[in-house]
Amino acid sequence: MKNIKDYDLNELKEELINLGEKPFRAEQIFKWLYQEKVKDFSEMTNLSLELREKLKQNYTICNFKILRKQKSKDGTIKYLFDVLDGNAIETVLMSYHHGYSICVSSQIGCKMGCKFCASTGINFIRSLSSGEIVEQILAVEQDTGVRISNVVFMGIGEPLDNYDNVINSIRIINNPKGLNIGARHISISTSGLVPKIYKLAEENIPCTLSISLHATNNAKRSEMMPVNNTYPIEELIKACKDYIEKTNRRISFEYALAKDNNDNQEDAKELVKLLKGMLCHVNLIPINKIENGTFDKSSNENIMKFRDYLNDHGIVATIRRELGSDIDAACGQLRRKNLQNSENIGLK
Ligand code: SAH
């Protein structure tokens, strides 16, 4: 049976028409799911008992179970959810002065193989459905009672490798009758799947595009990110320029600074050359060392020097605040844990 949260509003209208119902029922169902946040069809009290029964016969409502929840000193909360097929995913809630941000996973595992990322080295299992992406937000809102205002696709997985489901989930998240989170408050982060960047530029979704760049020449970038062998820097930058031209939206380049690898003045100089004149912003991330990882965090002094060099040379750069590192919830620390482990530690 299909998960009812997999449909955007237009698709759900089609579904209802196929069930012999009026399309406006889809709007009522949307309101129950995403505004009232009910967990069962029986709670949709402005629908007839007959329709509620029909829905129950035809769809499931996926409600994730929390397998594990960890709270950081800085208020960040990491969830391990049971996605109901024996797999588990991680989602992170962060609190900023401007509101709550959620970092969602888009796949169970990841195929990209970035050398510095903890999601590497675990098996790729499958992509998440739209409903499973949306459910991460619902489950966290239900658990905490907070209203989430920002969504970043920076959890486990490569969102552009799960293109259709990610776009569909954004339609649900963004819909005023759905979760009603503005597209400008939604960011997709990609390791650089060039054809999908061109495709995204054609969608009418003004979300923020973040590019995980991390290096300024192909030798270094391929060393860190195997995807660069398929889509080298020149092609990536060309796609980014096309994206900016078509959407008139600023791109955010992520640059994780690793000691003695990509953090010296020469790298900063090359980065300026690469991005000069583009409508963009650079987000510097102090790299989080992963278990047995080869990359170490740059010193604070180097990070600030790197930032200052960029700012002094016309590239707007900020250093990302590190949240949740004490609970392994910071950038690149997420790792799909299997149910077996969670059961072993008695948290089920
Ligand atoms: N696959 C997507 C989204 C998931 S990763 C992507 O590559 O963009 C989210 C961000 O965290 C990316 O910018 C990624 O490069 C960065 N990241 C991964 N591992 C990291 C680490 N160990 N330290 C700092 N940032 C890391």
pLDDT(339) > 70: no
* Res. 272 pLDDT band, cuts 50 70 90: very high
Cα separation of 313 and 321, whole Å? Answer: 22
If you measure from the C-alpha of residue 40 to the centroid of ligand 1, how many angstroms do you get, rounded to a whole number?
36
Task: Calculate what percentage of the chain has a pLDDT beyond 90.
Answer: 86
Best mutation site among 331, 334, 335, 336 for ligand 1 pocket (most ligand atoms within 8 Å of CB): 331
What is the domain partition of the chain in residue ranges?
Answer: 2-60, 65-345
- pLDDT digits over 181-200, tens only? 999 999 999 999 999 999 99
Cβ of residue 290 lying under 6 Å from some atom of ligand 1: yes
90 catalytic, yes or no?
Answer: yes
CATH of domain 2-60: 1.10.150.530
Token look-up 């299992």 returns 125
Q: Which whole-number Å values give the CA distances from 66 to 135, 143, 146, 234, 298, in the listed order? A: 12, 9, 17, 43, 35
Q: With a 6 A CB cut-off, is 190 part of the ligand 1 pocket?
A: yes
* Residue 332 in contact with ligand 1 by CB distance below 6 A: yes
251 lines ligand 1 (CB under 6 A): no
**pLDDT of amino acid 338:** 61
Q: Which of 103, 114, 280, 331 is catalytic?
A: 331
Nearest CA to ligand 1 atom 8: 190
189 lines ligand 1 (CB under 6 A): yes
The second-level CATH assignment, the architecture, of 65-345 is: Alpha-Beta Barrel (3.20)
301 carries an active-site annotation: no
Sequence-distant (≥ 6) Cβ neighbours of residue 321 within 8 angstroms = none
pLDDT tens readout for residues 241-258: 999 999 999 999 999 999
